[in-house]
């Protein structure tokens, strides 16, 4: 049985192993070149996708800059950039903290969609990390590439570009699908770790207008999404690009025409300055070109480069003031010291309890982020659970889809999206524009989540808001999601004004649902006057005693998955304030 490698194992790679794999398919000269490269220095800054098999090997030089970019290098990178627009935001964390507020549209929206769509969608193998793997980052993938396309010294990553066509892409159809799915915001796939820009960039010549699709993918998608009334954004993973691709002597990485695309051949200070300068310039370009509602980043927590991020933040937030709109930056960990909506990579790292910050997990609809052949598409029920669980805890769900290189979304993914939308069409009142109650829920799964958090805190290594580790315990995973399903005793709460929504996580059958949090004697002001089931006509019968509010359900379900009660007559406290830094 093949073991799954941890990130630490993955990044501890050797040139010798890579050479051994290639020796079976490359010339002796190519293999000897590989053997002469220096060993890998561990690079913990890039997260390893889950589910990739094959012995991890690489001759990449690691990241000698992480934590070591000098103030002089960073200052040089900032030279010659456009000035910060007039406004209250200065390029300092203190100024950003004083002036930033999480957008109401984000807190109201609850459900967004992002995607991984790029050159890596062409081979559709292993993951969106294909460029790293094929040049030596994973021996199994390197061998697979050699067998299907030829050795990477002969067929490079850039040779996939003519096959990245988007020939069947209809951005209006995508926007219509996202609208029907119930999403309120959509993030266009700006640039991944491979350094290819999906927009019409005057800064990065390796973009979707000059190569591959020969159209402005981000611009066309943003335009289509706005036409149906959804908020827009752009995702960016590109800050890892400078260190992401393992060096492979004899490959196209050293072709002068493509050297700047791969960022492998030149690792000088000058190249580093140019890379950081262009990273900021590309952010400014997309801000001015598309006026996105959100910038989303996957870029680590290196605070030596904070002036770059402060510059982007101040530029973006002041521009938004000029546009007259609320905008947001979302990133993982402590990447942004201030002005950041927390993102967690996959639901597994999301909070298990009600927290006082706003957050979202980027969670894939399949077992991978980028499209791969024969990937497993998850059913809609678990994403409905996540929307309900996250909304009760001050969070959203950012669901990642995986389009094909031709611009089509596999039908199985569409089916899941449409089923989510069908549920939200009935129950959206209990989700959109709601705020958490004083407690997020009750029942066996909530009890298991509380016990898990006691154990986590007892270990003394819980990072709170900037947590980057998988969460959970017996019977419960990250986000408080049950590992074993739910019962009708599992209830999640949201509020809107004085209306309390109690979402029952499984159909109760003939037995009444008992909401113990509304038992007589509980510190709840007001008196329950009416209980309704969303999607069902007419009020429900209920009683209230020392055990709880007992509600009798109708014989037929109004929807699938979970079921939302609307409770009126109470006087609820105002939503608690949230922290933004």
The 3-state DSSP class for residue 363 equals strand
**Helix or strand run (H / E) with residue 533:** strand 525-533
Cβ atoms 52, 133 nearer than 8 A? yes
Interhelix angle 71-78/269-290, nearest 10 degrees: 40
Rounded mean pLDDT of 326-346?
A: 96
pLDDT of residue 242 exceeding 50: yes
**400 and 188 in contact (C-beta within 8 Å)?**
no
Distance CA 150, CA 163 (A): 16
Distance of CA 263 to the CA centre of its chain: 25
Show the beta-strand stretches assigned E in 193-297: 231-236, 294-297
168-173: long-range pairs with CB below 8 Å, 24+: 168/406, 168/407, 168/408, 169/213, 169/217, 169/406, 169/407, 169/408, 170/407, 171/220, 171/221, 171/223, 171/224, 171/225, 172/224, 172/227
Encode pLDDT of 97-132 as tens digits. Answer: 999 999 999 999 999 999 999 999 999 999 999 999
C-alpha to C-alpha distance for 162 and 157, rounded to whole angstroms: 11
Task: Residue 246: name the closest of 257, 260, 262 by CA.
Answer: 262
Contact 502, 564 (CB under 8 A): yes
pTM for this entry: 0.91
For residues 224-238, give the mean pLDDT. 98
CA separation for the pair 432, 182 (Å, rounded): 10
- Kindly tell me the number of DSSP H helices and DSSP E strands found in the chain: 17, 18
> Is the Cβ–Cβ distance between 370 and 122 less than 8 Å?
no
Please report which confidence band the pLDDT of residue 381 belongs to, taking 50, 70 and 90 as the band edges: very high
CA 171-172-178 angle, 5° bins: 90
Mean pLDDT, rounded, for 518-543: 96
pLDDT of residue 40: 30
Whether pLDDT at 46 is above 50: no
Mean pLDDT rounded to a whole number for the chain: 90
- In the predicted structure, residue 35 carries a pLDDT above the cut 70: no
Q: Work out the average pLDDT over 211-224.
A: 98
Residues 6+ apart with CB under 8 A from 153: 26, 30, 248, 250, 251
Q: 287 Cβ partners below 8 Å, 6+ apart? A: 295, 315, 316, 319
- Three-state secondary structure call for residue 27: coil
- Tell me the C-alpha distance between 398 and 387, whole Å: 9
**Can you read off the two tokens belonging to residue 158?**
């850039």
SS3 content of the chain, % helix, strand, coil (to 5): 35, 20, 45
pLDDT for residue 63? 57
Place of tokens 């998955």: 561
Is residue 581 very low, low, confident or very high in pLDDT (cuts 50, 70, 90)?
low
Distance CA 123, CA 158 (A): 12
pLDDT score at 108: 98
What per-residue confidence (pLDDT) applies to 65?
62
β-strand partners of 113: 186, 399
Look at residue 4 and tell me whether its pLDDT is greater than 50.
no
**pLDDT surpasses 50 at 317:** yes
Band of residue 67 on the pLDDT scale cut at 50, 70, 90: low
What confidence tens digit (pLDDT) does each residue in 437-481 have?
Answer: 999 999 999 999 999 999 999 988 788 899 888 899 999 999 999
CB neighbour class for 372 (10 Å; exposed up to 12, middle 13-18, buried from 19): buried
Residues written for the chain? 581
Average pLDDT, integer, range 309-331: 98
59 pLDDT higher than 80: no
Instruction: Give the number of other CB atoms < 10 A from CB of residue 579.
Output: 10
Distance CA 1, CA 127 (A): 21
Q: How far is CA 77 from the centre of its chain?
A: 28
pLDDT of amino acid 277: 98
Q: Which percentage of the chain shows pLDDT scores above 90?
A: 84
Are 287 and 319 contacting, i.e. CB atoms less than 8 angstroms apart?
yes
The alpha carbon of residue 531 and the mean position of all alpha carbons in its chain are separated, in whole angstroms, by 36
> Mean pLDDT, to the nearest integer, of 219-236?
98
In the predicted structure, residue 62 carries a pLDDT above the cut 70: no
92: burial class by Cβ within 10 Å (0-12, 13-18, 19+)?
Answer: middle
């Amino acid at each position: 049985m093949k073991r799954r490698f941890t990130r630490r194992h993955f990044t501890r790679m050797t040139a010798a192993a890579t050479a051994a794999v290639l020796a079976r398919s490359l010339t002796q000269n190519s293999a000897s070149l590989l053997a002469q490269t220096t060993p890998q220095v561990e690079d913990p800054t890039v997260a390893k996708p889950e589910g990739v098999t094959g012995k991890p090997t690489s001759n990449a030089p690691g990241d000698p800059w992480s934590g070591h970019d000098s103030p002089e290098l960073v200052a040089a990178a900032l030279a010659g950039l456009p000035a910060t627009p007039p406004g209250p935001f200065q390029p300092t964390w203190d100024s950003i903290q004083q002036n930033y507020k999480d957008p109401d549209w984000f807190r109201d929206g609850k459900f967004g969609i992002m995607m991984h769509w790029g050159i890596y969608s062409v081979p559709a193998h292993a993951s969106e990390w294909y460029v790293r793997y094929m040049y030596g980052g994973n021996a199994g993938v390197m061998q697979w590439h050699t067998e299907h396309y030829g050795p990477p010294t002969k067929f490079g990553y850039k040779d996939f570009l003519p096959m990245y066509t988007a020939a069947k892409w209809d951005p209006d159809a995508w926007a219509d699908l996202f609208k029907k799915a119930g999403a309120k915001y959509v993030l266009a796939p700006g640039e991944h770790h491979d350094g290819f820009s999906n927009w019409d960039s005057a800064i990065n010549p390796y973009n979707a207008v000059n190569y591959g699709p020969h159209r402005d993918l981000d611009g066309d998608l943003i335009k289509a999404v706005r036409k149906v009334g959804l908020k827009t954004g752009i995702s960016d993973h590109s800050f890892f690009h400078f260190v992401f691709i393992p060096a492979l002597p004899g490959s196209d990485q050293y072709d002068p025409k493509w050297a700047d695309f791969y960022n492998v051949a030149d690792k000088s200070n000058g190249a580093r300055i140019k890379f950081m300068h262009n990273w900021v310039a590309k952010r400014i370009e997309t801000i001015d070109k598309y006026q996105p509602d959100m910038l989303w980043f996957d870029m680590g927590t290196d605070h030596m480069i904070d002036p770059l991020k402060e510059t982007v933040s101040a530029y973006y937030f002041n521009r938004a003031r000029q546009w007259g709109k609320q905008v947001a930056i979302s990133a993982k960990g402590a990447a942004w010291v201030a002005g950041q909506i927390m993102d967690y990579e996959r639901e597994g790292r999301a909070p298990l309890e009600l927290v006082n910050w706003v957050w979202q997990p980027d969670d894939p609809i399949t077992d991978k982020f980028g499209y791969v052949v024969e990937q497993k598409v998850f059913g809609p029920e678990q994403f409905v659970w996540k929307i309900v669980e996250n909304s009760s805890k001050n969070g959203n769900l950012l669901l990642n889809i995986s389009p094909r290189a031709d611009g089509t979304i596999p039908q199985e993914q569409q089916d899941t999206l449409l089923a989510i939308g069908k549920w939200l069409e009935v129950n959206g009142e209990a989700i959109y524009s709601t705020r958490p109650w004083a407690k997020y829920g009750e029942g066996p799964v909530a009890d298991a989540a509380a016990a898990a958090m006691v154990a986590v805190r007892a270990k003394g290594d819980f990072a709170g808001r900037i947590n980057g580790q998988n969460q959970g315990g017996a019977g419960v995973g990250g986000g408080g999601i049950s590992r074993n399903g739910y019962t009708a005793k599992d209830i999640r709460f949201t509020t809107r004004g004085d209306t309390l929504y109690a979402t029952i996580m499984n159909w109760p059958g003939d037995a009444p649902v008992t909401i113990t949090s509304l038992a007589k004697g509980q510190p709840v002001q007001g008196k329950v006057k009416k209980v309704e089931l969303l999607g069902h006509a007419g009020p429900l019968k209920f009683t209230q005693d020392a055990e709880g509010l007992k509600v009798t359900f109708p014989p037929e379900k109004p929807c699938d998955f979970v079921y939302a009660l609307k409770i009126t007559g109470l006087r609820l406290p105002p939503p608690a304030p949230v922290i933004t830094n």
